[in-house]
Amino acid sequence: MSKQKRVAVMDLGTNTFHLLIAEKLGDTFVEVLRETAAVKLGEGGINRGVILPAAFDRGIATMQHFKKLIDDNHVDEIKAIATSAIRSAGNGQDFIATIRQQTGIVIDLITGDQEAAYIYQGIDASGVLTEDNALIVDIGGGSVEFIIANSDEVLWKQSFEIGAARLMDKFHKVDPIPVTSIKELTTFLNGKLGDLFVAAGKYRPSILVGSSGAFESFAEVIELKKGRSFDIRQAKTYEFDIDELLGLIELLIKSNHKLRASMKGIIPVRVDMIVTASLLTIYIMQKMGIADVSMSTWSLKEGAMVQAMRS
């Protein structure tokens, strides 16, 4: 029996670096190892277009750790993908060169458009999409990808540099976030998202599909509150009860750091960023008039993995 192809995919985001190692299984894959590290690459420098020294060092150390895991698991093919924080940083290329020099890993710096394409592949492979048009929302730390699609095709996609870390750095300076800051954030989004509203008017998505990240936290908090065990590694998709989701979003927007940190289901790196992610989510739902919300735990790295397995 021939050995199955084993692939490692890394998603190097603004807040977290993800490693997924998997083996080919028919048209899809079976997971061998999954690891997430809270690198906070954008910390302190995201809106100034720089990776600060401490964040730079954390990123290098994480990639050295990932390389050891990759070697230990005898991987045949490596794919490392860098997104918004590295894309927009003046020293992003230095970071990429240092990684290559110290680990031998070649990083693929992708555009927002390529990022959205990978995200669609991951979401589609999760089985969450139907023949109805959905608005896929992937809230990263640096950028947010919006994709209008169904199970057959992508109708429209665009990446905007309005990720949760950028919004937090700009608007969430006092905790709890003041009403004046929420109004400023809303005005800012109104000015940035014109293209999205035009596309939504044309394609009329009736469902919002949240892509991993903050949406995983929303689902986890809701389920754990009800005393249910919820393992995002086991769940590919999740359908929200709209009242539960809106109640949680309202609570998060009004909360302070201490309350959020005490909530089961919110990982430390997301404790503060979840406020601006919540504000962005409710803003989109209200603007679009969408009250049907699902979530896919599969996103960019799974999309890249599906593509690697098919090549």
**Residue 65 is part of a domain; what is its CATH number?**
3.30.420.40
Claim to verify: residue 215 and residue 177 sit in the same structural domain? yes
Claim to verify: residue 133 and residue 276 sit in the same structural domain? yes
Number of domains in the chain: 2
Claim to verify: residue 267 and residue 156 sit in the same structural domain? yes
**Residue 201 is part of a domain; what is its CATH number?**
3.30.420.150
Of the candidates 277, 210, 308, which has an alpha carbon nearest to the alpha carbon of residue 14?
277
Which residues of the chain are modeled with pLDDT < 50?
A: 1
Tell me how many degrees the CA angle 114-90-271 measures, rounded to the nearest 5.
Answer: 70
Q: How confident is the model over 132-181, as pLDDT tens digits?
A: 999 999 999 999 999 999 999 999 999 999 999 999 999 999 999 999 99
Q: Which of 109, 137, 162 finishes a domain?
A: 109
pTM of the complete model: 0.95
Claim to verify: residue 265 and residue 173 sit in the same structural domain? yes
Residue 13 lies in a domain: yes
Claim to verify: residue 68 and residue 103 sit in the same structural domain? yes
Alpha helices by DSSP H, the chain: 53-72, 84-88, 92-103, 112-126, 164-171, 179-192, 194-203, 213-225, 242-254, 257-262, 273-288, 300-310
Claim to verify: residue 197 and residue 231 sit in the same structural domain? yes
Domain of 153 in residue numbering reads as 128-300
Residue 104 lies in a domain: yes
Question: Rg of the chain's alpha carbons, rounded to an integer?
Answer: 19
Claim to verify: residue 53 and residue 105 sit in the same structural domain? yes
Claim to verify: residue 279 and residue 176 sit in the same structural domain? yes
Q: How confident is the model over 187-218, as pLDDT tens digits?
A: 999 999 999 999 999 999 999 999 989 999 99
